[in-house]
Amino acid sequence: MKVKDFELGIKYRKAMAIVAEGLVSPNGVTGQYYVISQSGNGRYLAATRSTFPPAGRCNCPDFKKRGGPCKHVLAAEIYEQAPANAQALARHHNISLDVLENRLVVDLAIGVRDQNTANALMVLLDGCRRLKAAGQ
């Protein structure tokens, strides 16, 4: 495994945690999101890689220093894709969003082995809820 791949994997896990903690919100422009700093240093404006190829954009120190994608850009992408991923999962298992939501809630209530899995379940749950709120 290359060092860059390893670093991207770490950033991706951190990005999942950011989304699971509810620290991402749309800013009203397609592909751009506010991401609240986990360390309490304010919020960043992150744009997805589909909006600004190839690395996205972010005004965080990491992006300015190393380029992207940073964990904030990845978090914006995970947040943006969560509803589609939840819908695809429900279709794959031939269940409704309500059933998927209930299963995710039960899985989280029972407990999962590790925080990465819990974060992934919380992201899917958020995607379900946003789809339902949009009437889909």
What does the pLDDT look like over 56-82, one tens digit per residue? 999 999 999 988 799 999 999 999 999
CA 19 and chain centroid, separation: 4
Residue 85 has pLDDT above 90, yes or no: yes
Q: Which residues contact 68 (CB under 8 A, 6 or more apart)?
A: 49, 55, 56, 57, 58
Task: Give the per-residue pLDDT at 68.
Answer: 78
- Predicted confidence band of residue 8 (pLDDT cuts 50, 70, 90): confident
Task: Give the per-residue pLDDT at 1.
Answer: 45
pTM (two decimals): 0.89
